[in-house]
Structure 1
Amino acid sequence: MLEKNTFVVKEQVKLLSSKKEYDILDAESGQPLGKAASKVSGLWAVLGLVLGKDKAPMTVEVREKQDDSLVFSVRRRGFLFKKIEALDAHGQVIGSYKAKLFSIKGGFNVSDKDGKPFCEIKGKLFKADYTFWTPDGKAEMGKVSKKWDGLAKALFTSADTYVVQVNPDFAEQPVIKMLVLGAAIAIDTLFVKAGKASGGGGGGDDD
């Protein structure tokens, strides 16, 4: 999966299910690359029904289509003070995501495994229209959009389908691909789509 630079993330619509599942496709060919699915422990699943699904710790696993092997995961942990992290296939933290607390325009910061600034996310986050920038704001690392002119254009049959692109300049850096793709999935599953984020403070759409 990570040898690709452009992905289509397409939500699977399942009635009467709180579980989030996505197909991850090759944006050029439309061929399946893998899937992403949320997991919540039994006790937290029950509490989530009472307190709200954004309150419960959750993990979203991203797996290869070919052999169902784990590629990486994103998780929300904590209750009062939530933290959202990306982990590699071995369970090692490779980065974390945090909504900007005091920003009029909103946005997210991404930190590396040591907590140092890795990139900044700007744009209309909850409308799947945003861009990843290096901390100095000089280089685009990737972007998420609902517009795509490639062969997979016909795949956009619902509002919950979007394309994730990694800048070819970073094609040989799998950690960047995991953090970019992981951010798109985290924003869609682990943060609240109601004008503010649940994982570390408010975050809205850019003007």
Structure 2
Amino acid sequence: MFKAANNYDMFDPESGRLVLECREEKLGVFTKLLRFTDYKRATPFHIEIREPGGENLIEIKRGISLFLSEVEVFDGEGNLLGCFKQKLFSLGGKFDVYGADGMVLCSLRGKWTGWDFSFGLDGVEFARVNKQWSGFGKELFTTADTYMLSIDESLDSDHPLRKLIIAAVMCIDMVLKE
């Protein structure tokens, strides 16, 4: 009930096996206090995505955000993978995904309903995220959400955009839905 940090788990939808753990463990005392106020949207975050009980794969960091968020994404060794920059006027939410070289790799666009998001560039879709209905009780009495991520098979498994897309799913909830 009084938990300031956000925690997420990623499961394989077919097997139900835990694939990734996403934890926000490096929060300062002041940030924790602000999480219980109306300033929650503006608080910084530092999320670590890792294999269950193991290696850190991705780090997502954002400083204080007053209007538009800019989020940096690093690999497990601290190397910059890219960043996300939120766009000002969009009904369902939008941000551009940049590579480490500063070039736009794709854009995340949400529908006005807030349930469907797509990653694409110039008419080519790389991935899709859909919010799943969790049932009346869970939706009404908790802030827990369930999202389904589908990445196009044409995107190579070692392409840096894959890690950026996974990181962006965390940003959907942290930046657009808080």
The interval holding the TM-score normalised by the smaller chain is 0.7 to 0.9
Alignment of 1:29 onto 2:29: no
Give me the TM-score of the superposition, normalised by structure 2: 0.81
Aligned to 1:172, the other structure's residue is in SS state: coil
Count of residues paired in the alignment: 169
Relative distance call for 1:119 and 1:16 in structure 2 (3 A) is same
Distance 2:112 2:80 in 1: 23
Unmatched segments (≥5 aa) in structure 2: 140-144
Write out per-residue CA displacement over residues 121-168 of structure 1, whole angstroms, 9 at most, x where no aligned residue: 12237734111002xx23110010135xxxxxxx95555011111110
Runs of 4+ in 1 over 6 A off after TM superposition: none
Residue 193 (structure 1) aligned with residue 171 (structure 2): no
State the match for 1:143 in structure 2.
128
**SS, match of residue 87 in structure 1:** strand
Corresponding residue for residue 112 of structure 1: 99
TM-score by length of 1: 0.71
Cα shift at 1:79: 5.2
Q: Could you say which residue in structure 2 is the equivalent of 1:161? A: 146
1:97 aligns with 2:108: no
Cα displacement (A) at 1:49: 4.2
Check 1:82–1:142 CA distance in 2 against 1; reply closer, same or farther (3 A cut). closer
Q: SS of 1:185's equivalent?
A: helix
| Structure 2 CA distance for aligned equivalents of residues 82 and 93 of structure 1 | 17
Aligned residues: CA RMSD:
2.6
Contact 1:126–1:188 (Cα < 8 Å) also in 2: no
Counterparts of 1:125 and 1:61, CA distance in 2: 29
- Quote the Cα distance in structure 1 between the aligned partners of 2:134 and 2:160: 27
Q: Is the 8 A contact 1:125 1:187 kept in 2?
A: no
Identity %: 26
**Structure 1: distance between partners of 2:110 and 2:177:** 14
Structure 1 residue 170 corresponds to structure 2 residue 155? yes
- Structure 2 SS opposite 1:95: strand
Q: Structure with the greater relative contact order (CA < 8 A, sep ≥ 6): 1 or 2?
A: 1
